[in-house]
Structure 1
Amino acid sequence: MQINAANQSVNTLASQDVARPKGPPPPPPQGGVPPGLETAVSALSDEEQSSVTDMLASLSKDQQSSLKTQLDGLRDGAESLSNEELGAAFKDILTSLSTNQPDSSSLNLVDTFA
């Protein structure tokens, strides 16, 4: 039996990690849970998960930026929190951001008595 070595090929790309994009992960879609918090949010009840998704979808750009800042601040102590505690903290942050939405109709009012 003769083996022809010319017909055998080696896939050199198989050992390289070409499927992973470089840089930080993309932001979640509107209403999506930020990366790394999926398990914490899944620890919440179905009603709370639905509420979190609705609140995430209704955040403005400024509120999204504020959420990211607050989550970055929470990151340091997150290792000591359980998934339930982390999910509750995330929901509390979202609730505070959602309830502090300015009423856009009041932004256009002009004080004519000044």
Structure 2
Amino acid sequence: MVLTDMLTESGKAWQYCPRDVLRKFSKILEDEFGLVMNVGIEVEFYLFKSVLKDGKETWATIDRTSYCSTTAIDVASLVLQEIVASLHSFNILVEQVSFQFL
């Protein structure tokens, strides 16, 4: 995961950079309306496993549970524990873990 500004080759902010747009709107809200915006992020990702199909390696989702099924937590618990511990080591607060499988 990379959280960064998107720049053009000349080093200027790309006109569609989400972080730069957010900064601009945040400044407008504060300067013109006296409002301070608090922002959080939601990171989404999928977990895959390597499987052999017809003698070739391919990738499949780690399970086939329905949307937001808590059963999926059991399958992914070890890797999720590692991810959360790593994020905590960078002082990143994890408020919620939920699932959506393909």
What TM-score does the superposition give when structure 1 sets the normalisation length?
A: 0.25
Higher relative CO (CA 8 A, sep ≥ 6), structure 1 or 2?
Answer: 1
Bigger proportion of residues as helix: 1
Structure number with the higher strand fraction is: 2
User: Which structure would you say has the larger Rg?
Assistant: 1
TM-score w.r.t. the length of structure 2 is: 0.27
